[in-house]
Chains A and B, each alone.
Chain A
Amino acid sequence: MDGGLRRVRENADYSAKVLTICGHSFVADHSGALFCPERKTLIVADLHLEKGSSYAARGSMVPPYDTRSTLAKLAAAVAKYNPETIIALGDSFHDGGAGERMMSEDLSMLRRLQQQMRWIWVLGNHDTSIPEKFGGEVCETVAFGHLWLRHIPSSTHLSHEIAGHLHPQAHLSFKGNTIRRACFISNGHRLVMPAFGAFTGGLDVFDQVFQSVFPEPFTFVLMLGETGIYPVPYRGLKGI
C-alpha cells in the first residue's frame, strides 16, 4: 500500500485532468472550465452574470462585483487555453433584466473577450433569451461531434451529452477534515459541469436529482481545488 501510494504521488499531476466522453477528449480545468483541444473549444456552464444586482433590485444589497469576478476568471481560462470558440452552457445571465443592469465596464470586458473568438450562448432556464447587446450566437443545443451540449441534462437513459444546470458539488471526508467543492461529475457518456459563476452555490451529488441523471453508479467526480483538480471515486465521497 505504501509503495503504491508513493508511486501514485510521484506520478500524479493534478493541475488539469484529461478525460474522454464518447471518444472526445477534454481537459477539465480547476476553474470549472472544460477545454476540447481537438476543436479548440472552451466550455463553461452557469455563469449567472448579474446575480448580485438581481438581489439588489429586490432589496438585498449583496456585493456588485460578481460579474467582474466571473469574467476575470473566464479571461484567465481563455489566456491559458487560447480557444477559438467559447460555448456558455446556459444560465449565463441570472435573469432577463441583466442587460439593463450590467455596468458598462463589465459589458466592455465581456465584449473584449468576444472579439477574440467565436462565442455561443446556449439558452438556459434563467436566460430564456439573450439581449442583443451581449452579441454572440444563440441556440438551444449544440451538436458537438458525437455529443450534445445543452443546459439541462436530458432525462433519457442513454444520452451522450455535456450539460450544466445542476451545480454539482461533492463532499469529501479525509483525515478528520471535511471538504466541500464544486465538481465535474460523469459516467463516461454524460458529463455535468460545475457552475462557473462567482455567486453560484452547489448541490450535493448525493441529492436525488443526480440519481435520475446518473441512474447507474457513476464512475467519477472531479473536485475543484485552488490549484488543481482531483479525481475522487464515488465511493470515496460522503453519502449524506
Chain B
Amino acid sequence: MPAVDLKQKRRAPARKSTSDAERGLKLLLPSEFSAWFKSRGWSLRSHQLELLKAARERRSTLLIAPTGAGKTLAGFLPTLVELAKPSPCDASSGVHTLYISPLKALAVDVARNLTIPVQEMGLSVRIDTRTGDTSSARKQRQRARPPQVLLTTPEQIALLLSHEDAGFIFANLKTVILDELHALAASKRGDLLALGLTRLRALAPGLMIIGLSATVARPSQLRSYLVQQEMPGTQTDMSGLVVAADGAKPRLQILESANALPWAGHTARYAVVEIYEALKAHRLTLLFVNTRSQAELLFQELWAVNEDTLAIGLHHGSLAAVQRRKVEAAMAAGTLRAVVSTSTLDLGVDWGDVDLVINVGAPKGASRLMQRIGRANHRLDDPSKALLVPGNRFEVLECRAAIDAANAGEQDAELFRTGAIDVLAQHVFGMACSGPFYPSDLFAQVRSAAPYAWLGRDTFDLVIDFVSTGGYALRAYERYAKLRQMDDGRLRISHPRFATQFRLNIGTIVEAELMRMRLVRKGGAPKLDGHARAKPLSGGRHLGEIDEFFISELSTGDTFFFAGQVVRLEGIRGSEVYVSKGHSGDPKIPSYSGGRFPLSTHLAARVRAILANAEGWQHLPESVGDWLSHQAHRSQLPSVADVLVETFPRHGKHYLVVYPFEGRIAHQTLGMLLTRRLARMGARPLGFVANDYGLAIWCLSELDGVLGKGKLNQAGQSLTDLFSEDMLGDDLDAWLAESNLMKRTFRSCAIIAGLIERRHPGQEKSGRQVTFSTNLIYDVLRQHDPHHILLEAAWTDAATGLLDLRRLSDFLSRMRGKIIHRRLSRASPLSVPILLEIGREQVGGADRDALLRDAADSLIAEAMED
C-alpha cells in the first residue's frame, strides 16, 4: 500500500515535553488517541496540538508544514476526536467533515490510510470517497445516506451543491479540510472552490475550514481564502495560522558530467551516463522534467544505457490512466528503481521510499523545486537528497540560483489573483440549479469569498444576464432566457433540462482538445493522393490521450515518442488517432506546449546577480565560467539594474538581442510587439525567438540606421522609443485580438462559463456541425459586441497568465533610461543559446496571408521546375 503522509515520519530524538503540554494534551486528546500514538511510537507534534486547540474554538486555520510532518493527520485529528465522542447525532445527519484535494488519487489514498487509525482505535466513523471515477450507484447512496467523512475534489463539491438536496447533505457539516491548498487556491479551480465554500457556510453556519499547505511566501492570501470576508472591499479577514517546524535542510547538488555543457536544449542528453550511475546508487529515484516531451526523451535515453536492465518507469499526464496506475503500484510495491515524471507526481501522494530526486532541466522556480525535492523526504529529520541537471549553460545559472534560494529558505512570491468571471458564471448557474435565489443574497454571498471581494454589483448583474440570455447588446434571446423571475423576485431556471446539461459541464479544467490514441498495425492508413484504400482504421490498444494541436502539426508517416516508444502516425478518424510501432529513424518528439513553466521573477533576479558578479564565476563549471568571460570580453554582461541590448549582422540579416530575464511568456509578448514596432520603423523584421532569458529579432534592414547610432536617427527614433511603454496599448490590442493565444483563452472561458458545452475525451465529433469552433464565435463577437463580458474575461486571463503583462510592463518601466546598447561585428557568446532556439521553436511574427502566398508561390515554382 502506498504510504501517504498521514503516516507521519518518525522524529529521531525524543522530544522532552513539559508538564503544561501534558495537561493540555489530556484535555484535547482522549486517552484512546494517546494510546494509539504511543503504540505507533509517535508523539503528538506541536502543530498537531495547535490545530486541536484552534478546533476547540472552532477557529478556521491555515497549517503550513513540510512533507512528512504528519500534516494530513493534523488536519483530521479534530474530526476524529469529535466523532469518537458519543453524540446525539444519528447516522442520517449528513456529512460531518469534508476533505477536498486537487487530486482524485490523493483523496482515495488519504481515505484508505484514514481507516488505519480509525480501525486501530476501534472508532465507528463512516468514511467514503467521491470522485469522477465513483460509480453512479455509490454516488446515489451517498446522497441518500451521507458518510460522516467524505473525501472528494472541488468539482464534486460544485456538483453536489448544484442539487436541490445540498441542504440535507451539508446541514450538519462541521469541518472542511483543504489539502495542498497552495496548489489549489491560485487557480480557477480555487475560485470555484472558494465560491462553493461560501455556499457551504450558508448551509452550515459556524463551519470551520482547515487549510493544509506547503511553505509559501505569502500566507496571508491563503489565510483570507479560508474565512468569510465580513466587509469585502474595506478590510481583509484572515484565518489563524500554524507553522510547523522545518525538517532538515535538503542536500542539493548540481550533477557534474565529464562531457561539456551544451549551448542549448533542455534534455541533458550529455549527462545521461552520470544520471544512470546515480540511479544505480539509490533504491528509488524520482526524475522530474518540465515537459512531457522531455520525459519521453529522457526515458528513451536512460533505457539506451540501461545495461543492468533496472526497472525504470515513465509517468506523465498523457498516458492512459491504466498505465499510470501500473507505474504507481510498482513504485509503491518497491519493484521500480526509477520513474521519469512531469509535474504529475509533484503533489501529495507518496508512492514509495524515494531516496533521491533528480531534477532535469531548469528548475524554473524555487518553490516548485522544493516541492519536488520534498518527494524524497523519507524521514523528516534526515536531509532529502537531490541532484540538479542543467540542460544548457543558462540553466546552470538557474540551477545555482535555485540551490542558493533553497539554502536561504526563500520561496517565490505567488501572484495575487482575483476571482475569474467565467467561474462566477458557472457558480451562479449551479446555484440556480439547486433552487431559486434572490440576486442580492447571492451577490452578498459571492463577495464573502476572498477572491471575489472586489466584485461590484454591476459586474454581478452582467454575469446574471450572461448566464440567462448570453448578455448581448442585441437583446435577441429574451424569449429563450434560462433564468426566469418569479413573482417574489427570485430567479429560477426555466427548464430542468438546463440543470442536467449544466452538470455534465461542471469544472474549470479545460484540456486542450484531446484525441484518443490507439496502436494498430502498420499500413492501415490511406495513401495521401492515391486512393488505394487499405483496410479501415479501427480498434487497437488505447495508448493515451494526445493534444489535438500537436497532432495537427504532423503528417501521416511522421514518427514521434509516445509512452516510451517510437510510434508512426497512420491516420485520424473522428477523434481517434491511429499509430503503429515505428522503428528507427529520427522521431519527431511530442512538443506539447503545455507543462512549460516560465522562470520565476525571484530566480530571474538571482540569475542576474550571478551574471553580474564575476568573482563568483569560479564556483560554476569551467565551461560556463569561460563562456561568461568571453561575453565580458566581446560585449558585456547585463548588470543587475541595466538592460543589455546587442545588435549585430549575421548571414546578411541584422539581429537585435535583448536580455530581460523575465521568462519565456513575457519575452514572446515582447517579441510580438517589438516586431510590429520595428516593421513600422522600416526595419523589415522577419521573425523572432524567445527563451526564458532573452529574445532575438532578425531584420532585413540595417538597424543602426533605423534606430539611430546611440542618439536619434533622422526620423527621430531611438532605442528608447523602441522600448517605450506605450507598446502595451494599441499595439498589444491589435496583435492580441488576432492571435491564436487569445482564441484559445476565449475557448476555455466560453466552456467554463457554460456558453458552449465541453467535448468529453473520446466523444465522437459529429462531423462538421459540432466543430462549431469558438474561433467563429470569437470573431463574430469581436466584430459586433467588442465589450462583451466574456471577451473581457478572456482578455484578463490572457494578460495575467499567458502574456505575463504585469512582468512585461514592470520591465519596460524599469528599463527606461537604463538601456545599454552594444554594437557588435558578430554574435556575442551570450546570444548563442538564444540564436540556437531558431529552428527549434516556431518563429513568431509571420503574417498568415503572406505564408499562404509563399506556400502557393513555392509550390507553383516547384511545379514549373518539373
Query: A residues near B, CB below 8 A?
Result: 1, 4-5, 7-9, 12, 14, 53, 55-57, 59-66, 68-69, 103, 166-167, 171-181, 195, 198-203, 206, 208, 211, 215-217, 223, 225-228, 230-236, 238-240
Residues of B within 8 A of A5 (CB): 857-858, 861
Looking across the interface, which residue of chain A has its beta carbon closest to that of B477?
Answer: A56
Report the bound CA distance from A203 to B773 in whole Å.
12
The reply to whether A238 and B470 form a contact with Cβ atoms under 8 Å apart is no
The reply to whether A236 and B531 form a contact with Cβ atoms under 8 Å apart is no
- Determine how close the nearest CB of chain A comes to the CB of B433; give it in whole angstroms: 12
- Can you list 20 A-B pairs, Cβ within 8 angstroms, ordered by A? A12-B856, A53-B477, A59-B497, A59-B498, A61-B472, A62-B756, A63-B781, A63-B784, A64-B470, A64-B476, A68-B784, A172-B852, A173-B555, A195-B768, A201-B771, A201-B772, A211-B526, A217-B531, A230-B855, A240-B571
Looking across the interface, which residue of chain A has its beta carbon closest to that of B569?
Answer: A240
Q: A65-B474, A201-B768, A240-B571 are in contact. List 15 more A-B contacts (CB 8 A).
A: A4-B862, A8-B857, A12-B853, A14-B853, A60-B755, A63-B777, A166-B768, A179-B851, A195-B768, A201-B773, A225-B852, A228-B853, A230-B856, A231-B856, A235-B528
Which candidate, B163-171, B200-208, B840-848, is the interface stretch facing chain A?
Answer: B840-848
Pick the contact of A201: B757, B776, B859 (CB < 8 A). B776
Q: Would A230 and B853 be within 8 Å (CB), given that A12-B860, A235-B528 are in contact?
A: yes
Residues of B within 8 A of A238 (CB): 555
Pick the contact of A240: B556, B777, B853, B862 (CB < 8 A). B556
Report the bound CA distance from A57 to B479 in whole Å.
8
Give 4 closest A-B pairs by Cβ, nearest first: A61-B470, A201-B771, A64-B476, A65-B784
Report the bound CA distance from A225 to B849 in whole Å.
6
Looking across the interface, which residue of chain A has its beta carbon closest to that of B767?
Answer: A203
In the complex, B615 has a CB within 8 A of chain A: no
Which candidate, B251-259, B347-355, B546-554, is the interface stretch facing chain A?
Answer: B546-554
Q: Would A62 and B860 be within 8 Å (CB), given that A234-B529, A240-B554 are in contact?
A: no
Residues of B within 8 A of A9 (CB): 857
- Determine how close the nearest CB of chain B comes to the CB of A197; give it in whole angstroms: 9
In the complex, B85 has a CB within 8 A of chain A: no
The reply to whether B477 and A61 form a contact with Cβ atoms under 8 Å apart is yes
- Determine how close the nearest CB of chain A comes to the CB of B794; give it in whole angstroms: 14
- 0/1 string, B376-405, CB within 8 A of A gives 1: 000000000000000000000000000000
Report the bound CA distance from A9 to B861 in whole Å.
9
- Determine how close the nearest CB of chain B comes to the CB of A16; give it in whole angstroms: 14
In the complex, B541 has a CB within 8 A of chain A: no
Report the bound CA distance from A85 to B773 in whole Å.
32
The reply to whether A177 and B846 form a contact with Cβ atoms under 8 Å apart is yes
Report the bound CA distance from A60 to B73 in whole Å.
45
The reply to whether A65 and B785 form a contact with Cβ atoms under 8 Å apart is yes
- Determine how close the nearest CB of chain A comes to the CB of B740; give it in whole angstroms: 10
Residues of A within 8 A of B553 (CB): 173, 178
Looking across the interface, which residue of chain B has its beta carbon closest to that of A105?
Answer: B474
Residues of B within 8 A of A69 (CB): 780, 783-784
In the complex, B480 has a CB within 8 A of chain A: yes
- 0/1 string, B463-497, CB within 8 A of A gives 1: 00010011110101100101000000000000101
In the complex, B533 has a CB within 8 A of chain A: yes
Q: Would A232 and B571 be within 8 Å (CB), given that A7-B861, A61-B470 are in contact?
A: no
Report the bound CA distance from A219 to B773 in whole Å.
28
Report the bound CA distance from A60 to B772 in whole Å.
12
Q: Would A201 and B529 be within 8 Å (CB), given that A8-B864, A12-B860 are in contact?
A: no
The reply to whether A226 and B855 form a contact with Cβ atoms under 8 Å apart is no
Pick the contact of B851: A177, A198, A236 (CB < 8 A). A177
Report the bound CA distance from A36 to B207 in whole Å.
73
- Determine how close the nearest CB of chain A comes to the CB of B776; give it in whole angstroms: 5
Q: Would A65 and B781 be within 8 Å (CB), given that A173-B553, A232-B859, A240-B571 are in contact?
A: yes
Looking across the interface, which residue of chain B has its beta carbon closest to that of A198?
Answer: B780
The reply to whether A203 and B768 form a contact with Cβ atoms under 8 Å apart is yes
Residues of B within 8 A of A231 (CB): 856, 860
In the complex, B27 has a CB within 8 A of chain A: no
Looking across the interface, which residue of chain B has its beta carbon closest to that of A197?
Answer: B776
The reply to whether B861 and A1 form a contact with Cβ atoms under 8 Å apart is yes
